[in-house]
Amino acid sequence: MTEPQINPWSSTPTLDVEKTFAEFGIDPIAPVLPELPEVPYFMRRGIVVGQRDYLPIARAIRNHTPFHLLTGFMPSGHPHLGHLMLMREVVWHVQQGANGYVTIADREAYAVRGLSWEKCREYGKEYLSCLYALGFEGQTYFQSKNSRLKDLAFEAATKVNFSELTAIYGFTPETALAHADSVITQVADILYPQVEREPAPTLVPVGIDQDPHIRLTRGIAHKFRMFTVEEREDYVSVRSKNAPEAALDAVKKAFPHAKKYEGHVDIKGAACADVSTKVRDIERACGGYAFYTPSSTYHIFLPGLTGGKMSSSIPESLISFYEPEAAVRKKVMSALTGGRMTLEEQRRLGGEPEKCTLYLLNMFHMITDDAKLAELHRKCRSGEITCGQCKKETAERVVAFLKDFREKMDVAAETIEV
């Protein structure tokens, strides 16, 4: 069987973002940005580039209405700068009002990477320290310790079969059952905030390689619904998918102008949003979950310092948060840049920042001021700065950032019990 193009466990270094978006129906985020009261730097700079149903999230931010956020980290090694973007996106949305949830996907690390539970706890604690160092406020949990999550995963598993998992993930007859179980646990993670609190729009910020989990969960959330609500020309139709007759009766009773037919209720003179809200209440009263279909955003990846993916399996490609200072400097000074072969060419032609791992490191994390970043871009393109000088300045920024960040992580670590 051919492996699907996006695979959450693959070490494929890069994806063609536009092709992947077109193939899997991911929309660009730019058209939704005017809905946000404030556009964060990672959206302004084209780091978070794609979305599914981000509009309800942007409106919830603008209107101060409830919404959730859930993301997860697989504790398969020490966290590093490649994980920082997602953490920043999480913290920003929580600051905008999201009920924040972060799962440590230790069941996935155990099933897919073969890590011991002890290592999962150790690495998981480091991820949580990073999040709290950035100012995260919300709920965090380890998958293996959350019994409510495991019950929800079991229920979600009744909505999917192996053919679907094979189509989405490229599973084979040799795929371990625990691997499939870790997938359904992640589905439950995504739905969990709506069970633990209340049904509400839920954002799942991810890297594009995690889109299979989003697609699977959106489908399962839909399967859990008892009704569909559709706006027609001059009425709203509420159709039963698997609702008990009493629930359909309750829908009719809730609206004075409703007419009940075989399997559906049509309502004249009501707003679709009002009907949807009421129908969710009725679903919940009848024992359903009334899930909102989860929304998602997609960020591009910070490339590794050697080019390709920043990956724990290539130590030279990454900088971990506890990397010794000398190693940080050495890695930055050896990084792959967009510089020319000779100094003379660099002065004459300028560098190519878009191809430079260090420019991108500065763009993602090290230079938060847009004007300063634009200045670096200009100096690089004009050949005014050499790569040697630029590397030294970047190394200083990274060392200073890590020193401050580690202190915050250490303080946070003291408060985390695993």
In the complex, the smallest distance separating the C-beta of residue 339 from ligand SF4, rounded to whole angstroms, is 4
Q: Which stretch binds ligand SF4 (CB under 6 A): 40-48, 87-95, 231-239, 379-387?
A: 379-387
Which tokens sit at 173? 């007859």
Give the nearer residue to ligand SF4 in terms of CB position, either 199 or 339. 339
**Contact of 380 with 356, CB cutoff 8 Å:** yes
In the bound state with ligand SF4, the residue whose beta carbon lies nearer, of 47 and 356, is 356
State the number of binding residues for ligand SF4 (CB under 6 A): 13
The residue among 75 and 351 lying less far from ligand SF4, judged by its C-beta, is 351
Within 13 Å of residue 62, how many CA atoms lie on the same side as its CB?
A: 14
**CA–CA separation, 169 and 212 (whole Å):** 7
Residue 284: helix, strand or coil by DSSP?
helix
- Nearest of 162, 179, 185 to residue 112 by alpha carbon: 179
359 belongs to the binding site for ligand SF4 (CB under 6 A): yes
Indicate whether 387 belongs to the interface with ligand SF4 (CB under 6 A): yes
Cβ atoms of residues 328 and 400 within 8 Å: no
Nearest approach in angstroms of CB 308 to ligand SF4 is 17
Q: HSE-up of 58 (CA within 13 Å, CB side)?
A: 19
Between CA 4 and CA 1 the distance in angstroms is 9
Q: Which is nearer to ligand SF4, 194 or 357 (CB)?
A: 357
Which residue type sits at 308?
Answer: G
SS3 assignment, position 182: helix
Q: Is 358 in the site for ligand SF4 (CB under 6 A)?
A: yes
Kindly state whether residue 390 participates in binding ligand SF4, applying the rule CB under 6 A: yes
Q: Does the protein bind ligand SF4 through residue 337 (CB under 6 A)?
A: yes
Which among 216, 207, 173 is positioned nearest to 12, based on CA atoms?
Answer: 207
Stretch that binds ligand SF4, among 85-93, 176-184, 241-249, 334-342 (CB under 6 A): 334-342
Of residues 245 and 354, the one with the C-beta less far from ligand SF4: 354
41 vs 298, which CB is nearer to ligand SF4? Answer: 41
Q: Which of residues 39-68 bind ligand SF4 (CB under 6 A)?
A: none
| Backbone φ, ψ for residue 224 (5° rounding) | -70, -20
Structure tokens belonging to residue 257: 């102008």
Query: Cβ atoms within 10 A of the Cβ of 2, count?
Result: 5
State in angstroms the smallest separation of the CB of 76 from ligand SF4. 30
Among 339, 365, 367, 409, binds ligand SF4 (CB under 6 A): 339
Query: Can you give the binding site for ligand SF4, defined by CB under 6 A?
Result: 337-339, 351, 353, 356, 358-359, 380, 385, 387, 390-391
